[in-house]
Chain A
Amino acid sequence: MRYSALSILKQGLTGNKSWKPVWREPEPKKSYDYIIVGGGGHGLATAHYLAKIFGGKNIAVLEKGWIGSGNIGRNTTIVRSNYVLDGNQPFYEMSVKLWEGLEQDLNYNAMMSQRGILNLAHSDGQRDAYARRGNAMLMSGADAELLDRDAIQKMCPFLKFDNERFPIKAGLLQRRAGTARHDAVAWGYARSADMHGVDIIQNCEVTGFQMKNGKCIGVQTNRGPIKAKKTAVCVAGSSSRVMEKAGMRLPIESHVLQAFVSEGLKPTIPGVITYGAGHFYISQSDKGGLVFGGDLDGYNSYAQRGNLPVVEDVCAGGMSIMPMIGRARLLRMWGGVMDMSMDGSPFIDKTGIGGLYFNGGWCYGGFKATPASGYCYAHLLATDTPHENASQMRLDRFMRGNMIDEKGAGAQPNLH
């Protein structure tokens, strides 16, 4: 069923009786051409683009829980393309362009809202670095504006401009950045993939890979073995656990990242704002809650919850840049498990095992990357060659010395 204003009107007048389930609940078949392991945002996006753009047939998405139960539902919903390096920025700008047409492509309201992201600078050096970043963004076709203090004051009068230690000197604004409704992204991709014939199989956990002559010919699941010509793993957060079953060690550590939501308030934060001197970023959801977060807890974890020192650190960061939020009460907090890679950048690549493909290492940038990740992964699966915008996101880049190290922090995942 195609959604439209007319369909809503018709359903409304007939008592909303004929809405149908948004995707089917098929039983797994014995074999597929493509199996995508992981029904999160990236896996569902991969299925959508593989079926719709690259003409893939006979595709299944296997999800151990329910679709969208992982990081696609546990993030802070920010979409942006404000990176510097060649290996990253064209990819993220491709993603923002896909976000801009996402709802029309999926015929689904993902509540994409281009309300802008403002990165604050607190020293001359940081302003220079943002000028350079802005130029890198412009060269990739993205938008970027360097704002002076007066322009920021007009936009966000509530910020603490004269913080004794970290006064606001400038800001880098990307107007096309924004937020989207994370659950709706998963549901929209799932619905579209399903309409293109993809089998979305929930409660189906992959427990191993079927290997023959060194090649991957399918998976073992808790619902029986399933054969596949190509098996595409897409389980960021659990990548090491799943790839271990294929005998692979990855350049990834799993870390916990916390996020927070306040009670609902009237509109006050105009877009996404990031503090350049502390671990704090914030936006306001359409319901009015202040959505904010900071840095990783800093130790390996699969627990989906963090500890209190980081809660204090994030809230202290918030208080130092926008003291007005001190009166807002914290409603909820949660943690997500991040695939932290050794250089802070992701992987979309073949593995050394025939028929087995890998997508992961998204660190805490996975949500914004969802459309481009799906598109590039589908490109790799369909053509066996990397998409040009993901050509540097290789598993062997550390051996070759071609790291994509945005932060320059080296092989120290908790610092990226």
Chain B
Amino acid sequence: MIINHPLLGPRDANEFVHLGDESLIDRPDGMADDAANKFHNYMYLRDNPAGKYRELWYHDAGDRSWLVVTRDTLTHEIFDVELARDVARARGRSK
């Protein structure tokens, strides 16, 4: 697979490490009343779709950036690559 890095251009997927579902960006509020339940769902449960999947990849052997890759789990085709930073900021995260 070739991942088209937004800053570096097309790179071999071998340079990256796969973390998992993009929803891992959205860490729950640890002070919420049902935090235990929320963290269980966040840590351990997955949608695991067959088809389009938004997932986090880390450019371990490159610029160490985190990416959100939209990929088809049935064909391995990659549709879109964004910086995870931009995705988080678009959701109103300040850092």
A residues with CB within 8 A of B: 238, 240-241, 244, 249-254, 298-303, 307, 309, 342, 398-399, 411-414
Question: Which residue of A is nearest B12, CB measured?
Answer: A309
**What's the tally of chain B residues with a CB closer than 8 Å to chain A?**
27
Report whether B48 and A300 are in contact in the complex, using a CB–CB cutoff of 8 Å: yes
Question: Which residue of B is nearest A298, CB measured?
Answer: B18
Report whether B18 and A302 are in contact in the complex, using a CB–CB cutoff of 8 Å: no
Query: Given A299-B55, A300-B55, A251 and B45 touching (CB < 8 A)?
Result: yes
**Which residues of A have CB within 8 Å of B17?**
298
**Which residues of B have CB within 8 Å of A414?**
18, 20
Tell me how far the C-beta of A78 lies from the nearest C-beta in chain B, rounded to whole angstroms.
26
Report whether A253 and B20 are in contact in the complex, using a CB–CB cutoff of 8 Å: yes
A252 vs B20: C-alpha distance when bound (angstroms): 11
Report whether B18 and A254 are in contact in the complex, using a CB–CB cutoff of 8 Å: no
In the complex, which of the residues A254, A298, A299 contacts B48, with contact meaning CB atoms closer than 8 Å? A254
Query: Given A303-B74, A307-B1, A307-B13, A241 and B50 touching (CB < 8 A)?
Result: yes
The 3 closest A-B pairs by CB, nearest first: A240-B48, A299-B18, A398-B44
Give the secondary structure class of B's interface: mixed
Report whether A301 and B44 are in contact in the complex, using a CB–CB cutoff of 8 Å: no
A399 vs B44: C-alpha distance when bound (angstroms): 9
Report whether A254 and B73 are in contact in the complex, using a CB–CB cutoff of 8 Å: yes
The answer, yes or no, to whether B75 is at the interface (CB within 8 Å) is: yes
Report whether B48 and A411 are in contact in the complex, using a CB–CB cutoff of 8 Å: no
Residues of chain B from 11 to 29 with CB closer than 8 A to chain A in the complex = 12-14, 17-20
The answer, yes or no, to whether B40 is at the interface (CB within 8 Å) is: yes
Query: Given A251-B44, A299-B55, A300-B53, A413 and B76 touching (CB < 8 A)?
Result: no
A238 vs B13: C-alpha distance when bound (angstroms): 25
Tell me how far the C-beta of A363 lies from the nearest C-beta in chain B, rounded to whole angstroms.
14
Question: Which residue of A is nearest B53, CB measured?
Answer: A300
Query: Given A303-B75, A399-B40, A249 and B47 touching (CB < 8 A)?
Result: yes
Report whether A240 and B55 are in contact in the complex, using a CB–CB cutoff of 8 Å: no
Report whether B14 and A309 are in contact in the complex, using a CB–CB cutoff of 8 Å: yes
Tell me how far the C-beta of A233 lies from the nearest C-beta in chain B, rounded to whole angstroms.
15
**Which residues of A have CB within 8 Å of B64?**
none
In the complex, which of the residues B13, B43, B73, B76 contacts A398, with contact meaning CB atoms closer than 8 Å? B43
Query: Given A309-B13, A398-B40, A414-B18, A303 and B73 touching (CB < 8 A)?
Result: yes
**Which residues of A have CB within 8 Å of B20?**
253, 300, 412-414
Tell me how far the C-beta of A258 lies from the nearest C-beta in chain B, rounded to whole angstroms.
13
Mask, B55-95, CB within 8 Å of A = 1, is 10000000000000001011110000000000000000000
Could you list 17 A-B pairs, sorted by A, with CB under 8 Å? A240-B47, A240-B49, A241-B50, A244-B47, A251-B44, A253-B46, A298-B18, A299-B13, A299-B18, A299-B71, A300-B55, A301-B76, A302-B74, A303-B75, A342-B43, A399-B37, A412-B19
Tell me how far the C-beta of A334 lies from the nearest C-beta in chain B, rounded to whole angstroms.
15
Q: Which of A244, A254, A299, A412 has the most CB of B within 10 A?
A: A299
Query: Given A300-B53, A398-B43, A307 and B76 touching (CB < 8 A)?
Result: yes
Report whether A254 and B13 are in contact in the complex, using a CB–CB cutoff of 8 Å: no
Tell me how far the C-beta of B95 lies from the nearest C-beta in chain A, rounded to whole angstroms.
24
Query: Given A249-B45, A254-B73, A300-B18, list of 17 further CB < 8 A pairs?
Result: A240-B46, A240-B47, A240-B49, A244-B47, A250-B46, A253-B46, A253-B48, A254-B48, A299-B13, A300-B73, A307-B1, A309-B13, A309-B14, A342-B44, A398-B40, A398-B43, A411-B43
A205 vs B45: C-alpha distance when bound (angstroms): 25
**Which residues of A have CB within 8 Å of B13?**
299, 307, 309
Question: Which residue of B is nearest A397, CB measured?
Answer: B44
Report whether A252 and B48 are in contact in the complex, using a CB–CB cutoff of 8 Å: yes
Q: Which of B40, B41, B44, B55 has the most CB of A within 10 A?
A: B44
Question: Which residue of A is nearest B1, CB measured?
Answer: A307
**Which residues of B have CB within 8 Å of A303?**
73-76
